[in-house]
């Protein structure tokens, strides 16, 4: 399967959901008993939570999950998955999370369209092994060409932070509303979206990014930026579900 070609074709929501479920189950089936596991955020990651809960119920799987968001914490608890805070563990055996964009073969990612990018990056950094699960529509030929890069910023002076991002070539838009959606089309005067860490998110349209590592470093160096949704060299394996089943891609170390 060439997932890049698949991503350009029309895919129904039902088909995309089926692919997400397949990728989630594929990854969950490979979690070792006794693992301390980072639990990702977003629709595909929540399907992995459901698959893990089935293994706990049906197979007696023993895991401890460390959630990347308050939403993930709530879902995990409702499914009976034991959880712990990040500071309660010394390291994570692995993490399973979704992504908004995946670039092959480097496995560079864009994450954070759901608003959990900071905790997702902290969990990824604490994990010995990092697994990403996506459907084939998330495969891109160039990072940033199809959507914005989320940047989490402190609320104080955020307009000045946005101005510095503009100097990097971005078109930042303050994310608004309670839902974790980009704020284009949000009603005028809508309240800013607030992350779990109490910060704002600027959705920054850069266009095609040909140097993800350089761009990631430049964004992080701006005072007022907490973190951003470019995940560069932070993934060991990606499971991509599409019309020919699940394909696995690994980063060359």
pLDDT score of 183 more than 90: no
pLDDT score of 182 more than 70: no
Can you give the pLDDT at residue 184?
39
Q: Indicate the helix (H) or strand (E) that contains 36.
A: strand 35-39
pLDDT score of 4 more than 60: no
How do residues 31-67 score in pLDDT, each as one tens digit? Answer: 999 999 999 999 999 999 999 999 999 999 999 999 9
Q: Which residues contact 111 (CB under 8 A, 6 or more apart)?
A: 97, 98, 99, 100, 117, 120, 121, 150, 229, 231
Query: For residue 24, which of 77, 111, 98, 78 has the smallest C-alpha distance?
Result: 98
Can you give the pLDDT at residue 9?
64
Can you give the pLDDT at residue 22?
98
Can you give the pLDDT at residue 151?
98
pLDDT score of 247 more than 50: yes
- Decide which of 160 and 2 is more confident: 160
pLDDT score of 103 more than 80: yes
The DSSP symbol for 176 reads: B
**CATH number for the domain running over 149-228:** 3.30.70.260
pLDDT score of 86 more than 50: yes
User: Which of the following CATH numbers is that of domain 3-140+232-242: 3.30.365.10, 3.90.79.10, 3.40.50.300, 3.40.50.1360?
Assistant: 3.40.50.1360
Burial class (CB in 10 A: 0-12, 13-18, 19+), 154: middle
Inter-CA distances, 90 with 117, 236, 246, Å: 21, 20, 32
Can you give the pLDDT at residue 131?
98
**Any catalytic annotation for residue 120?**
yes
For residue 180, name the pLDDT band (cuts at 50, 70, 90): very low
For residue 177, name the pLDDT band (cuts at 50, 70, 90): confident
For residue 253, name the pLDDT band (cuts at 50, 70, 90): low
* pTM for this model (two decimals): 0.91
The catalytic position among 70, 120, 166, 236 is 120
Q: What percent of the chain has pLDDT over 70?
A: 91
Q: Which residues contact 106 (CB under 8 A, 6 or more apart)?
A: 212, 233, 251
Residue ranges of domains in the chain: 3-140+232-242, 149-228
Give the dihedral of Cα atoms 131, 227, 136, 25; nearest 10 deg: 40
Using CA atoms, how far apart are residues 228 and 187, in angstroms rounded to an integer? 25
pLDDT score of 178 more than 80: no
């Amino acid at each position: 399967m060439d997932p890049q070609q698949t991503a350009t074709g029309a895919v129904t929501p039902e088909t995309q959901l089926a692919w997400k479920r397949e990728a989630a189950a594929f990854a969950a089936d490979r979690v070792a008993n006794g693992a301390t596991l980072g639990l990702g955020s977003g629709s595909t990651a929540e399907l992995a939570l459901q698959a893990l809960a089935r293994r706990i119920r049906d197979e007696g799987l023993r895991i401890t999950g460390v959630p990347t968001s308050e939403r993930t914490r709530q879902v995990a608890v409702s499914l009976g998955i034991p959880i712990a805070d990040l500071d309660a563990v010394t390291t994570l055996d692995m993490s399973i999370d979704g992504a908004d964009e995946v670039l092959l073969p480097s496995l560079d990612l864009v994450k954070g369209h759901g608003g959990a990018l900071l905790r997702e990056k902290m969990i990824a950094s604490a994990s010995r092994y990092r697994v990403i699960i996506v459907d084939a529509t998330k495969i891109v030929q160039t990072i940033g060409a199809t959507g914005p890069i989320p940047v989490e910023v402190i609320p104080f002076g955020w307009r000045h932070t946005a101005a510095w991002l503009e100097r990097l070539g971005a078109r930042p838009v303050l994310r608004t509303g309670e839902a974790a959606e980009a704020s284009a089309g949000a009603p005028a005067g809508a309240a800013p979206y607030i992350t779990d860490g109490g910060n704002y998110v600027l959705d920054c349209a850069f266009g095609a990014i040909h140097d993800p590592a350089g761009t990631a470093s430049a964004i992080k160096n701006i005072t007022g930026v907490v973190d951003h949704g470019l995940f560069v060299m932070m993934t060991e394996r990606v499971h991509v579900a599409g019309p020919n089943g699940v394909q696995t891609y690994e980063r060359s170390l």
